[in-house]
Amino acid sequence: MTEPAKTLLEASFNPKIKSYLLWYGVLMCVVMIFTIPFIPIWLIFASYFVNKYFERLHCELTTRSLKFNKGYIFRTEKTIPLDKIQDLTFKEGPLLKAFGLSILQIETAGSSASASADLSLIGIVNASDFRDKVLDQRDVVTENTSSATSSDNSENVLEVLKDIRASLERIEKSK
pLDDT tens-digit profile of 110-138? 765 555 668 888 999 988 899 999 999 98
Contacts of 95 (CB under 8 A, 6+ apart): 20, 23, 24, 27
Instruction: Answer yes or no: are the C-beta atoms of 26 and 42 closer than 8 Å.
Output: yes
Q: What order of strands is seen across the sheet that includes strand 119-122?
A: 85-91, 103-108, 119-122
> For the chain, what is the radius of gyration of the CA atoms?
25
pTM above 0.85, yes or no: no
Domains and CATH numbers, the chain: 8-174 (2.30.29.30)
pLDDT tens-digit profile of 134-159? 999 988 888 876 555 555 677 778 88
